[in-house]
Structure 1
Amino acid sequence: MNTESKSKIRHEMAKQLPSERRSNFDEVALGYSEEEAVAEAKRCLDCKKPLCVEGCPVEVDIPLFIRQIADHNFDAAVRTLKSTNSLPAICGRVCPQETQCEAVCILGKKKDSDPIAIGGLERFVADYEMEKGVTIPDVPESTGRSVAVVGAGPAGLTAAAELAKMGHAVTIFESLHSAGGVLVYGIPEFRLPKAIVAAEVDFIRKLGADICLNSVIGKVDTVDELLDEYDAVFLGTGAGLPSFLGIDGENLNGVYSANEFLTRVNLMKAYLFPDFDTPIKKGSRVIVVGGGNVAMDAARCALRLGAEEVTIVYRRGEDELPARAEEVVNAKEEGIRFRLLTNPIRILGDENNWVTGMECINMELCEP
């Protein structure tokens, strides 16, 4: 194939302006138009040995669904994508494609060339189907087997969907009042709208999976009791409790774990005040410790809740930030400050046990 005619630069997805989005929780990335998606799809080299498929954890036939987009055959692209991925609208938004499928894209390895925007095209296909109307695939006859899935996060939802497609009876047990796990309590609305998660969950329900909310396994049933009732049990219980630094002052008022802060903002909808009167401390000057996606989410939420100044404090350098590159870019565009090679050693408070500051030390990188 003649690669000289292929555009080296990807078509960037439109976003809300930083000056506008820093004060709202609407989705930042606006998605591809049909014209933009087709143009981006036509950049694909359609490689004979597509490494992108190997880079995908669920081995989506990426070249095929991209070729179908290029041919304006969007319905076929939907079928190709959902044959191996039941959560494409979610994955197209938050899956780290830059370290998986896009990282091994042959086009991206060429000099001065960007990889195909696989995630953006995945989102386009999923959003196209949602707007048109989701089609529920035919499910085979019942196998007579039943499976209990503990946890309605991304792992549990994916397992349930694939098991239902095989004809097994599936029941999901979720401890919270809403299905989605970290997709609803952790990832903010501006990165992953809750309506998108609800639509994907509804698709899995329509495949035949039952979802039992407010059901804590260990209280309503034990795993042994589930094994007496079901043929198999899948445990997708999530990341669990937050980690702390182990420094003085962590118990001061105004200090949150990211887990609690994001849960209050997202699942408990503090961002919709006064419609939801969820109590949360809204500081004017906020420090977020860490450099991953969770830290970016917490910092950007604090900004949208009204903070005048938000600073990321991270013990390593820019190249070592574990957050997705696009999230770091978005945070910087919105005015989030970064104090790198900086590590907290003590949180300071006043006589009423309210946080007033943080003592840090400078760090240096050394050989790993």
Structure 2
Amino acid sequence: MNMDNNTKRNEPWREELRKSIKNKERADKSRVHMRELPADYRNKNNEEVNCGLTKEEALNEAKRCLDCPAPSCTNGCPVGIDIPQFVKNIERGEILEAAKIIKQTSALPAVCSRVCPQEKQCEAECIYAQKMGKEAVAIGYLERFAADYERESGQMAVPECAPSNGIKVAAVGSGPAGLAFASDMAKRGYSVTVFEALHEIGGVLKYGIPEFRLPNSIIDVEIEMLKKLGVEIVTNCIVGKTITFEDLQAQGYKALFVGSGAGLPRFMNIPGENLIGVMSSNEYLTRINLMGALRDGDTPVLSGKNVAIIGGGNTAMDAVRTAKRLGAEHAMIVYRRSEAEMPARIEEIKHAKEEGVEFMPLHNPIEYIGDEKGRVKQMRLQKMELGEPDASGRRSPVEIPGAIETIDVDTVIVSIGVSPNPLVPSSIKDLSVSKWGTITVNDGMQSSVPTIFAGGDIVRGGATVILAMGDGRRAAAAMDEYLKSC
């Protein structure tokens, strides 16, 4: 029996065949590679290293998306961005619509797209990476493109907000957790005030991340968007000192979110740590990023020629790359584990190497030696090797007996982690904290004091920007439910 052409076109197997051919064409495309400033140029200034995508590059990359019937990329996003929808809008050339979709769940798209470890989150869940052994769709690059395109178009849309409910809530800290919380609560109709201890808004985004990775102008635009949502931000105000939790209650705030971060640096407690020229990465980056030391400001930071950064995370990479920009002739990363175990993003390690940073894995400082003026001049390093795997399969570094070397240094930046600032937790009666000083919360980020919620580093001890934002969003949802039930 003959069938007409329409019947043939509508046969399910023919549609599946067309889709498989289309997907094969998409799968054969190579992932876009973002342009970067030349290494020997950028390591002498503070210009942003990554240059973004052109519109043509973005559209071509978006076309690589395979239209998975059950996409898993969104599962890897801590703030729940509808990744397939915004990518498809870019593919259709509807960039402003793509930006609108992202901003439904992300308060800081231009920030997150620059600093979040997409390769370990959304892109790790892409079917290319999961099933096909290929490079994932460049979700982070596409998010940045959409956010930058919207900003440069002059048509930035303010997300819709529910009508005001007349309820006041407060947040401590204007870092990523506090800003994400504030955004979501404002969208729900709450009157939100964010209290920031420093004179600049942005928390770790401003004081912890150099402008060559995240320009301050980008942060400022995102913050202005929050203000358009009605969020009020009060600077130079320390909750727990300038103002207390009881003061906030008396002023009519019905609940509080604590996103005060983890600002206390950790040291190794080895001889010589009190020498001039030995400091934490927290102090080093704050003085440069927030206080103008890179531009010969009022609080200049010591700028050595032989600079060692102790640690292997993103903050260590930020510090060592900053040292190069301050004129270090010899900048090195000293890390007690292997390079493969460094927690820093692969991109950050790559950029550091390109900019002339030396890597010394499997080395651990055991002493700093000073000169007659009390400034560090040398450090003694214990060489390490990886021992037998532990129960988790991870091999711990162990000392190689007698393998000690001494090298010249005139500046040492210790970047081995931070601890929560105890000011806010210690100022609130009946607030439960862990033995590490972090605030104890339930799955909804609610503390032992029902009207207090918390997230980010003050809960985790250490978190990425996007994880902190995820905490802020969860806290907002849980606080909303709690206040509605009161």
Fold in common (TM above 0.5): yes
Q: Note the C-alpha offset of 1:8.
A: 4.8
- Could you say which residue in structure 2 is the equivalent of 1:53? 74
- Could you say which residue in structure 1 is the equivalent of 2:25? 5
2-side partners of 1:66 and 1:169: how far apart?
33
1:78 to 90, 93, 99: 99
- Could you say which residue in structure 2 is the equivalent of 1:113? 134
Q: Note the C-alpha offset of 1:318.
A: 1.4
Q: Give the 3-state SS of the residue equivalent to 2:379 in structure 1.
A: strand
- Answer yes or no: is 1:98 the counterpart of 2:119: yes
- Answer yes or no: is 1:239 the counterpart of 2:262: yes
- Could you say which residue in structure 1 is the equivalent of 2:186? 164
- Answer yes or no: is 1:143 the counterpart of 2:171: no
Q: Note the C-alpha offset of 1:26.
A: 0.3
* Between structures 1 and 2, the one with greater strand share: 2
- Could you say which residue in structure 2 is the equivalent of 1:230? 253
Conservation of the 8 A alpha-carbon contact between 1:8 and 1:113: no
Conservation of the 8 A alpha-carbon contact between 1:44 and 1:107: no
Counterpart AA for 2:232: D
- Could you say which residue in structure 2 is the equivalent of 1:261? 284
- Answer yes or no: is 1:220 the counterpart of 2:242: yes
Counterpart AA for 1:271: L
2-side partners of 1:277 and 1:173: how far apart?
26
Q: Note the C-alpha offset of 1:278.
A: 2.7
2-side partners of 1:5 and 1:293: how far apart?
36
2-side partners of 1:102 and 1:224: how far apart?
44
Conservation of the 8 A alpha-carbon contact between 2:294 and 2:300: no
Conservation of the 8 A alpha-carbon contact between 1:105 and 1:115: yes
Conservation of the 8 A alpha-carbon contact between 1:52 and 1:101: yes
Q: Note the C-alpha offset of 1:112.
A: 4.5
- Answer yes or no: is 1:179 the counterpart of 2:214: no
2-side partners of 1:316 and 1:192: how far apart?
28
Counterpart AA for 2:222: E
Q: Note the C-alpha offset of 1:277.
A: 3.6
2-side partners of 1:21 and 1:28: how far apart?
7
Percentage of pairs with the same residue: 51
2-side partners of 1:178 and 1:33: how far apart?
32
1-side partners of 2:114 and 2:64: how far apart?
20
- Could you say which residue in structure 1 is the equivalent of 2:176? 154
1-side partners of 2:339 and 2:274: how far apart?
29
* Deviates further, 224-233 or 117-126: 224-233
2-side partners of 1:225 and 1:233: how far apart?
12
In the superposition, the TM-score normalised over structure 2's length comes to 0.74
- Could you say which residue in structure 1 is the equivalent of 2:60? 39
- Could you say which residue in structure 1 is the equivalent of 2:337? 316
* Deviates further, 184-193 or 71-80: 71-80
1-side partners of 2:248 and 2:380: how far apart?
49
2-side partners of 1:190 and 1:10: how far apart?
24
2:225 to 186, 191, 203: 203
Counterpart AA for 1:237: S
2-side partners of 1:331 and 1:184: how far apart?
21
Conservation of the 8 A alpha-carbon contact between 1:8 and 1:112: no
Q: Give the 3-state SS of the residue equivalent to 1:365 in structure 2.
A: strand
In the superposition, the TM-score normalised over structure 1's length comes to 0.97
What's the CA shift string for 1:71-103, capped at 9, x where partnerless? 001111011111111110000100111111011
RMSD: 1.1
What's the CA shift string for 1:238-259, capped at 9, x where partnerless? 1120110111111100111000
Counterpart AA for 1:247: I
Q: Give the 3-state SS of the residue equivalent to 2:386 in structure 1.
A: coil
Conservation of the 8 A alpha-carbon contact between 2:173 and 2:197: yes
Q: Note the C-alpha offset of 1:111.
A: 4.2
- Could you say which residue in structure 2 is the equivalent of 1:363? 384
- Answer yes or no: is 1:280 the counterpart of 2:301: yes
Conservation of the 8 A alpha-carbon contact between 1:148 and 1:234: yes
* Deviates further, 304-313 or 225-234: 225-234
Q: Note the C-alpha offset of 1:175.
A: 0.1
Q: Note the C-alpha offset of 1:341.
A: 0.4
Q: Note the C-alpha offset of 1:204.
A: 0.5
Q: Give the 3-state SS of the residue equivalent to 1:156 in structure 2.
A: helix
* Deviates further, 301-310 or 222-231: 222-231
CA distance 1:109–1:8, shift in 2 (3 Å): farther
* Deviates further, 4-13 or 325-334: 4-13
2-side partners of 1:280 and 1:242: how far apart?
17
- Could you say which residue in structure 2 is the equivalent of 1:16? 37
Counterpart AA for 1:328: I
Q: Note the C-alpha offset of 1:144.
A: 1.5
Q: Note the C-alpha offset of 1:109.
A: 2.8
Q: Give the 3-state SS of the residue equivalent to 1:312 in structure 2.
A: strand
Conservation of the 8 A alpha-carbon contact between 2:292 and 2:300: no
Conservation of the 8 A alpha-carbon contact between 2:79 and 2:106: yes
CA distance 1:154–1:8, shift in 2 (3 Å): same
1:248 to 254, 271, 294: 271
Counterpart AA for 1:99: K
- Could you say which residue in structure 2 is the equivalent of 1:330? 351
Conservation of the 8 A alpha-carbon contact between 2:324 and 2:331: yes
Conservation of the 8 A alpha-carbon contact between 1:38 and 1:72: yes
* Deviates further, 224-233 or 234-243: 224-233
2-side partners of 1:80 and 1:71: how far apart?
14
- Answer yes or no: is 1:350 the counterpart of 2:360: no
